[in-house]
Amino acid sequence: MSNLQNALHELREKRSRAQIEIEKLDQIISGIESLNGTGVHESSRPTRIISAASRRKMALAQKARWASVRKQSQPILVGKTTLSAPAKRTMSASARRKIAAAQKARWAKVKGQQKKAA
């Protein structure tokens, strides 16, 4: 009986020495990886998977929070009236025509250079 207990005691000591050796090796490996910059950190937690329904609920809740923030914000004074946002500016038709003509000229120049190169 004592032989079995002695054998069991020796095996447990051997196991504890092996565990200590493994911990030392892990520390050395992590030190080298941190120096190299390629350290792979394995977390004990798995990545969190969220269902589509939960993501939708989260999105709706966030939209509601932003809506309440916007509702509580101070209105901007524009002229004699108060508006929640400044009036949207529009371009005149002539300004749009000028921009379109300039863009067409730029594209014509690019296509001309491509023809010369080919």
What confidence tier does 10 reach under pLDDT thresholds 50, 70, 90?
Answer: very high
Strand, helix or coil at 77? Answer: strand
Q: What is the mean pLDDT of residues 80-105?
A: 84
Distance CA 43, CA 39 (A): 12
Provide the whole-model pTM: 0.31
Strands (E), 36-99: 76-78, 81-83
pLDDT tens for each residue of 34-70: 887 765 556 677 788 999 999 999 999 999 999 998 8
At a CB cut-off of 8 Å and minimum separation 6, what does 58 contact? 50
pLDDT of residue 34: 82
- The closest alpha carbon to 39, from 28, 49, 51, 50, belongs to 28
- For range 82-105, the mean pLDDT: 87
Q: With cut-offs at 50, 70 and 90, classify the pLDDT of residue 31.
A: confident
Over residues 74-94, mean pLDDT = 71
Asked whether 33 and 39 are in contact (CB, 8 A), the reply is yes
Radius of gyration of the chain (CA): 35
The two structure tokens encoding residue 36: 């190299």
Query: For a pLDDT cut of 70, what percent of the chain falls above it?
Result: 83
More confident residue, 43 or 26: 26
Sign of torsion over alpha carbons 29, 32, 35, 40? negative
What is the Cα–Cα distance from 103 to 111, expressed in whole angstroms?
Answer: 12
